[in-house]
Structure 1
Amino acid sequence: MLGVKKRLDALHKDGGCIRVGLIGAGQMGRGLIAQIAGMRGMRVVAAADLFPENARQAFRRADVPEAAMKETNDPDKADNWIAGGRAVVTTDAVMVPRLDNVDVIVDATGIPDIGAQMACEAIQHGKHIVMLNVEADVTVGPLLKRLADEAGVVYTGSAGDEPGAIMELYEFADTLGFDVIALGKGKNNPLNLQANPDTARAEALQKGSSPKMLASFQDGTKTMVEMTAVANATGFVPDVPGMHGRKARLEELPRLFSLQEQGGILQRTKVVDYIDGVAPGVFVVITSTMQEVHDTMKYLKMGSGPHYLLYRPYHLTSLETPLSVARAYLMKEATIAPEYGMVAETVAVAKKALAAGEALDGIGGFTAYGRIVTAADKQAMNALPIGLIGPHIRLKRPVALGEVITYDDVEFTESTLIGRLREQMDREAARLAVR
């Protein structure tokens, strides 16, 4: 990201530092702490996790001495220790955004309700918030962005996450005046709509990851959620519910992402989609109305046209998150945010035949997977957003395998913060679409 290093170096030279508070010290959080440890002008000063040893281990892996870590849930002690150059470990996530000596919050929990809570706390206490929590963003992101704008802080998704990587390619192409046809990503594993923690357990253990998290990748929910975030940031929409998700090679994408009358698969342009066969990586399919541009693209060996592929073959997940931290703090800019409000939604679909009285579990569980649809389709179906599901929701009537779960199908047995935020966002829908 041009200019960031110079700004961080200047901040460091002047004795300054962006003080980062991390929520969630799992795989993503560990990577973030380690990456920032090698940077100038930025430091992780506090890390919260339900299991404090996770945070301690993350700091150890980043070569933070044991003597430089202090564990506390007392905000006064935490602020004093940070001021003295120590790293704070805590089990009290809510404390971190409230600390005076923290500038930017990163939520790396992946749990929608916690992500929404951390964003609200950060905004309320004047902190920028970087969301490594796309699940929360696609559920209540437009409202959180509006609240952040009003508070004068930045609400942003993360560089390195696939939506952020796609957004960087999109802005490059859009700024240059190319016509953007499609935005997409590769899917890392075959789609298995019935994947659950049991079926994913062996592979998850082998990879050192959570079975539930891996199941959310395998059943497609993560892909649907990520492309929903891209849709709401750009105004692009899925061409069909669930997207096409074709298997293809890179060289096939320019032709594949053409209108049907041109030999492609699309009913419209400006779509989000995914491809089985090009992972890892993200892509943008572009064209131009200028013959000279086509001539130059052919000269540059970008293909025969009329569509061309821009492809980034990697995304470094939380290792790139520091760029979003820096961009928010130094430039007051988001990497990716739901500028268009909700143009797409990821809705809950029954992963098995569900009986009346049965409780829904969470994302990557046994009961539901996510499917991207347009916001208009979501409204017409009265569909339940995937980010709201949890054991506090019970079915009032049976739902067949593969059916969309609707608000009419369920009852809420208790209130959650993300549920209340969603109700508020739905009431304010018109003002949240800012473009």
Structure 2
Amino acid sequence: MVIQSSTPQRATPIRVLLTGANGGYGRTLLDQLRRLPDMTATQLVDPDVAGVTRMLRELGVADDLIAVPASADETAAAIAAGKTAVVADASAIDWASVEVLVEATGRVEAGHAYADTALDSGVHVVMVSKEIESVAGVALSAKAREKGLRYLPGDGDQPANLLRLTAWVLEVGFDIVALGKSSEYDLAFDPATGVVNQNGVTIDAPGLADLLELGDDLAATVAARSAQVAALKRSAAADYCEMNVVSLYTGAISDVEGMHYPVARPDELADLYAAREDGGLIGRTGSIDVFSMLRLPGEASFAGGVFVIVRTGDAVTWDILAGKGHVVSRDGKYACIYWPYHFMGVETPITIAAAVDDTSVIAEPRQHTVLAARAPEALEPGTTFRVEGHHHEIAGVAPVLIDPDGGEIAPYYLLSGARLVSGVAAGDLVRISDLADVPAAALAAYRSGLALGV
């Protein structure tokens, strides 16, 4: 017996344009699209044309089905001939030969321009670049609606997955106390050696062996665990950015500016993210947060998955569910509903189809919070900011989630390429008025989104 999808096949495949193609995300999406007769990646945009071409070959695409056109007309001809067009920038995109843009550059100025042009060209947008979403997502979503198009966060990354899980949780009638995700890298602890491994970085933390149970004082246990792994960098700008995106679509805000980031095991989440009056960490219903997963040898990872903490009801009902292995707090008042995965581009075809078919359950975003930049130390005029590294972080400032404060506070990723024209004192936030050389179109989009209110 061959198990097959019951979804009706489309008369013509959805043509996908992928920007920021040469990376781990792009590869996972391209590999998955090759399994789907209803979708095809016809245009791939990345400055590293040679790298994208090499990746296509590794994925089994024959050389005679790969084209490197230099103009939009050449791209259109290549697509008509059944080839995949690999181009370096926007100048060679044929917008008439695409139904959905998947934007994955991670760069605010370029990515915003791609998304904005796509909407002007009648093309739906699936946004994978959370950096762009955090600055311009509200405005781009509003523009899409005005044009009868869809603008959606892409499944496979934590924000969209958490939004989909949250939609289900609300649809079945739960009251949400907290929602969030695990950080990208687990804390893999071996009690036999006392060593913690976080993505290849190891430290000695023998004291964790005595902290594997929460005990009666949850806050004390969390603090002691954090102290044991203080030498590791556990938080990342990417985490804050993703939670900011979730905030845009749900209205949830962080309980504390830096989020709690507890070192935790999955079966503890319903206790840790309970309301403070019940012994948990949460002081505000509907808080977003991130935890660092503590994992022992042989235990499965949370895999950067997502969770929602809900209030339970009938004690007998939840005793039955706890007996089936569901995560319920020790007092029975809270439960954790979670998806232990985010499969990157493997899941994004779900969003591509939802964009074309208008079947998304995601709400309209509003700028409920801003991902801002706080200066741990004083910054001098003339300081230039650069987004660098795997986690797209900016040296000299720390990401924080706060109220937009009328739009005067600079979004973290608007600092990309900008320079300070006035100093910023230690502990202060960077404000828009402190900056020059800010990406003008992205700034205008941010202000346009703010003007829509909450």
When the two structures are superposed, what TM-score results if normalisation uses the length of structure 1? 0.83
SS of residue in 1 equivalent to 2:155: coil
Which residue number corresponds to residue 405 of structure 1? 430
Q: Distance in 2 between matches of 1:32 and 1:50?
A: 18
Give identity over the alignment, percent: 26
Cα displacement string for residues 230-286 of structure 1 (whole angstroms, at most 9, x for unaligned residues):
111112111111211111221221111122111111112111111112642211111
2:382·2:419 contact (CA, 8 Å) conserved in 1? no
Q: Distance in 1 between matches of 2:249 and 2:375?
A: 27
2:240·2:399 contact (CA, 8 Å) conserved in 1? yes
1:34·1:61 contact (CA, 8 Å) conserved in 2? no
Q: How does 1:95-106 map to 2 (within 5 A)?
A: 95-96=92-93, 98-106=94-102
Q: How does 1:24-423 map to 2 (within 5 A)?
A: 24-27=20-23, 28-93=25-90, 95-96=92-93, 98-189=94-185, 220-277=236-293, 279-280=302-303, 281-290=305-314, 293-294=317-318, 296-298=320-322, 300-302=324-326, 303=328, 305-329=332-356, 331-334=357-360, 336=362, 339-350=364-375, 352-362=377-387, 363-373=392-402, 375=403, 378-379=404-405, 382-400=408-426, 402-408=427-433, 410-413=434-437, 415-423=439-447
1:34·1:59 contact (CA, 8 Å) conserved in 2? no
Q: Flag the 1:395–1:247 CA change in 2: closer, same or farther, 3 A.
A: farther
SS of residue in 2 equivalent to 1:129: strand
1:130·1:156 contact (CA, 8 Å) conserved in 2? yes
Q: Distance in 2 between matches of 1:88 and 1:33?
A: 13
Query: C-alpha root-mean-square deviation of aligned residues, in Å?
Result: 2.6
Q: Flag the 1:357–1:77 CA change in 2: closer, same or farther, 3 A.
A: closer
Cα displacement string for residues 332-378 of structure 1 (whole angstroms, at most 9, x for unaligned residues):
134756x24011211012255421221222241322231112x2xx3
Q: How many residues in Structure 1 have an aligned counterpart in Structure 2?
A: 393
Per mean C-alpha deviation after superposition, the further-off stretch among 121-130 and 269-278 is 269-278
Q: Distance in 2 between matches of 1:429 and 1:259?
A: 32
Superposition deviation, residue 395 in structure 1 = 3.9
SS of residue in 1 equivalent to 2:43: strand
Q: Distance in 2 between matches of 1:323 and 1:273?
A: 25
Unmatched segments (≥5 aa) in structure 1? 192-201, 205-216
When the two structures are superposed, what TM-score results if normalisation uses the length of structure 2? 0.80
2:71·2:91 contact (CA, 8 Å) conserved in 1? no
Q: Flag the 1:56–1:301 CA change in 2: closer, same or farther, 3 A.
A: closer
Cα displacement string for residues 120-161 of structure 1 (whole angstroms, at most 9, x for unaligned residues):
011111111111101111111111000000111110111110
2:22·2:48 contact (CA, 8 Å) conserved in 1? no
Q: Distance in 2 between matches of 1:80 and 1:383?
A: 46
Superposition deviation, residue 380 in structure 1 = 6.9
Larger radius of gyration: 2
Q: Distance in 2 between matches of 1:291 and 1:145?
A: 42
Structure with greater helix percent: 1
